Structure 1
Amino acid sequence: MIPMPREDTPLWQDSEPLECVMVVPEAPGVKTFVFRPPSGATFLFRAGQFITLELPMPGGPDHRTYTISSSPTSNVYLSVTVKAQPDGRGGSQWMMDNLKPGMRIKAFGPAGVFHLPRQPDNKYLFISAGSGVTPMMSMATFLFERGEEPDISFVSCAKKPSELIFRKRLEYMASRVQGLKLHFVVDQDEPYEVWTGYRGRFNQLMLGLTTPDYLERDVYCCGPEGFMQSVRDMLHALGYDMSRYHQESFGAPVERVEDIPVPDDVVPQEKAPAELTFSGSGVTASCTETDTVLAVAKRSGLNIPSGCNFGVCGTCKVKKTAGEVHMVHNGGISDEDIAEGYILACCSHPLGKVEVAM
């Protein structure tokens, strides 16, 4: 039996292995593993940090980092939430198949710079996709358990409603306080089940609908690289102060502030020259990177059919035959069309010389 901590219980040091005391299924292919030190020591960490586990894999020890999904206020235990990999291999899959209560694992940490400030009294916007919800869960639970009313807009994205990790726990917390607002976004419905939340890819329209005051909030984002890139693109386009933006990568959590990678985002510049050639009409027009293809076409006397002017309806889809554009759309074009060279003229900005087939 693992002893309960006393008032004078020391803090856990990573020289002591952790014992798995519980395994909780969270969603299809997702489990939470709960750990305690055999000595009964307590944990000290910041909401959003990660821990490194030394997994006894068949080919030798494998060190894997996992974000802590439990709250620092619950310092008698620590949990990580793990999603199985599609290929059925790796450390996460080993944990899913082999890690059981009673087993002891060597661990290191906690560490990481993706966490809330020491006095988390600001307004927050948490945006996550898939298992990227784990640090947000730790942060939200910590703010919920502080004893003060939080101010959180929480956006959680998944492929299907059944894959929304921590949905019930988040709904419970939101039912007890007024300051936690939940917004779930899924790509597709479940068969024969009603879904009344948002559908499709998270975009600028959803951002405005879920969190009208997003410009006033500190943004924390975690998910696949492509997802985080799209979030950064939409925030750049909407004039958000990116010094208040924080993100954690699935593959590269960092331990020191100076090691945080600076995203090489493309941001159209108002004074950067560009040029658009409409090959079918024989028209070439000079412009800047902040002009849209649609606006340049209209100034040049050309008619590109358009509707929403916000990247939703897809009416202004045209074929790009040369050059590069920066496009931040809101679901009006498919990945397949983009791969074939199509763009939405209303939300595409030319980068240098670009040719369009019209």
Structure 2
Amino acid sequence: MMRDAADFDPASSRVTRPAFWSALPERWTSDVEETLVCCHVRQETHEVKSFFFRSPQGRSFSFQPGQFITLELEIDGDTINRCYTISSSPARPHTMSISVKRTPGGKVSNWLHENLQPGTSVRVLGPAGDFTCARHPAHKYLFLSAGSGITPLMSMSRAHHDLVEDRDIVFVHSARTPDDIIFARELDLIAANQTNFRTSFVCERVGARTNWPGITGFLTLPLLKLIAPDFMEREIFTCGPAPYMKAVRDMLDEAGFDRKQYHEESFSFETLIENEPEAAAEVLEAEGKVGASHANSASERMQTFSVTFSRSNRSVECASSQHVLDAARQAGVRLPSSCTQGMCGTCKVKLVSGQVDMKHNGGIRQREIDQGMVLLCCSKPLSDLVVDK
């Protein structure tokens, strides 16, 4: 019988059983195990890599397809938090992956591509996020993505495939060239295995692949009607750069699509902030820049308030001039965050009681504010607070 070298312990000269063979592995949470280990790196395209993680204690991962995790990285002496959508399927719970596009000038994406190798430990928070088909069950879906915005929709597609949920899914992905299509072969395999799963790739140009038989150009309403004639009946999930998502929204509004069946996720904020300032401006304009404030700035006084995190039973002190996220970090409370500028919505939480002065930059919608949600990175306390976290 051949032995797997990965399961062989040279010190004891015996084969050890992998942790994932345990009958009922304990569920991983960042509260009980904050560090994961990279166990594999896979090159997806010339500028995209997938990084796979495993729990050192053999715990299993539980998340909803489309959710994200937050990496806490030490780069050049700075602690940087960056969010990445989970690209793997929750039906394969012993590993979890993210797929990252190398962005020119992007501090984090370049560090990951150059430094994150099997065996590297990374501090992780999450999973979190509301962009998931698990919360919007439907018989028919339409997935629309562009660039590395494909990752949450890939997680959803993998989940349906692994669970043999042959839902009626049309997946339309836009890329610069055929060589830039992420997960192209796997999407073709899923389509071959599932009767009701169909893919369509739209490439801006053919690039080096001059024999490309697919669609070239951009996604338009007439093209969408050809690809998915019944799109008006489908639950639509969209992810990509801000200009792409705005074009999709305008296209669907022109068709009279019911926005209650429409869901979208923001693109990588590393890309938006560092490399696409115009796109970032579009996000701010699209989502609204009006801050939510429960008191006049004139009423601000130098006071100290208590902030209680109800789930973890932790309390910290926060000055009235200080953002809640900063106070929590100084006290050692680990909270998901990314842009720290009120743009991305990663630090969004439910405010159980108390009032804050929140000045955001589009990372939260008015209906969410009306429901008591706040962004901790841009909220200063006006009273003692209780946060559902």
Instruction: Give me the whole-angstrom Cα distance separating, in 2, the residues matched to 1:254 and 1:61.
Output: 17
Provide TM-score, normalisation by structure 1. Answer: 0.70
Gap change, CA 1:108 and 1:5, over 3 Å in 2 = farther
Relative to structure 1, the CA distance from residue 143 to residue 195 in structure 2 (aligned partners, 3 Å threshold; closer, same or farther) is: same
Q: How far did 1:254 drift?
A: 4.3
Deviation at 1:149, TM superposition (A): 1.6
Q: Structure 1 residue 131: deviation in Å?
A: 0.1
Structure 2: gaps of 5 or more residues: 1-6, 8-17, 270-343, 351-362, 368-389
Question: AA paired with 2:114?
Answer: D
TM-score (norm 2): 0.64
1:99-151 residue CA offsets vs partner (Å, 9 max, x unmatched): 00001100000000101135734210000000000000000111112223221
Equivalent-residue separation in structure 2 for 1:41 and 1:191 (angstroms): 44
Answer 1 or 2: which has greater helix percent. 2
**d(CA) in 2 for partners of 1:262, 1:123:** 29
The aligned counterpart of 2:59 is 41
* Cross-structure match for 1:220: 237
The answer for unaligned runs of 5 or more in structure 1 is: 264-358
Q: Tell me the alpha carbon deviations over residues 5-37 of structure 1, each in whole angstroms, 9 at most, x when there is no partner.
A: 512211112142100000000011100000000
Cα deviations by residue, 1:287-344 (Å, 9 ceiling, x for unpaired): xxxxxxxxxxxxxxxxxxxxxxxxxxxxxxxxxxxxxxxxxxxxxxxxxxxxxxxxxx
Q: 1:201 & 1:257 partners in 2: Cα distance?
A: 37
Instruction: Give me the CA root mean square deviation.
Output: 1.9
Secondary structure, counterpart of 1:48 in structure 2: coil
Change (3 A) 1:37 1:193: same
| 8 Å Cα contact 1:47/1:138 also seen in 2 | yes
Q: Is the 8 A contact 1:27 1:162 kept in 2?
A: yes
Give the paired residue count. Answer: 262
Give the share of equivalent positions with the same residue, in percent: 39
Amino acid at match of 2:20: M
Among 25, 30, 43, the residue aligned to 1:9 = 25
Matched residues in 2 for 1:120 and 1:129: separation?
23
- Out of 144, 156, 161, which is 1:127 matched to? 144
Q: Which of 76, 81, 89 lines up with 2:99 in the alignment?
A: 81
Residue deviations 1:170-214, cap 9 Å, x none? 001101111111000001013353111111111111110110000
* Greater shift in the superposed pair: 197-206 or 16-25: 197-206
* Structure label with greater radius of gyration: 1
CA contact under 8 A between 2:86 and 2:98: conserved in structure 1?
yes
The question of whether the paired residues in 2 share the 8 Å contact of 1:43 and 1:78 is answered with yes
Contact in 2 for aligned 1:5/1:41 (Cα 8 Å) = no
Structure 1 residue 3: deviation in Å? 2.3
Whether the 8 Å CA contact 2:65–2:134 is kept in 1: the answer is: no
3-state secondary structure, aligned to 1:4: helix
Distance 1:192 1:239, change over 3 A: closer
Q: Paired residue for 2:224, among 190, 207, 230?
A: 207
Q: 1:118 to 1:146 in 2, by over 3 A?
A: farther
CA distance in 2, matches of 1:224, 1:30: 16
Give the secondary structure class of the aligned counterpart of 1:117: helix
Q: 2:248 & 2:175 partners in 1: Cα distance?
A: 15
> Aligned pair in 2 of structure 1 residues 262, 189: CA closer, same or farther (>3 Å)?
farther
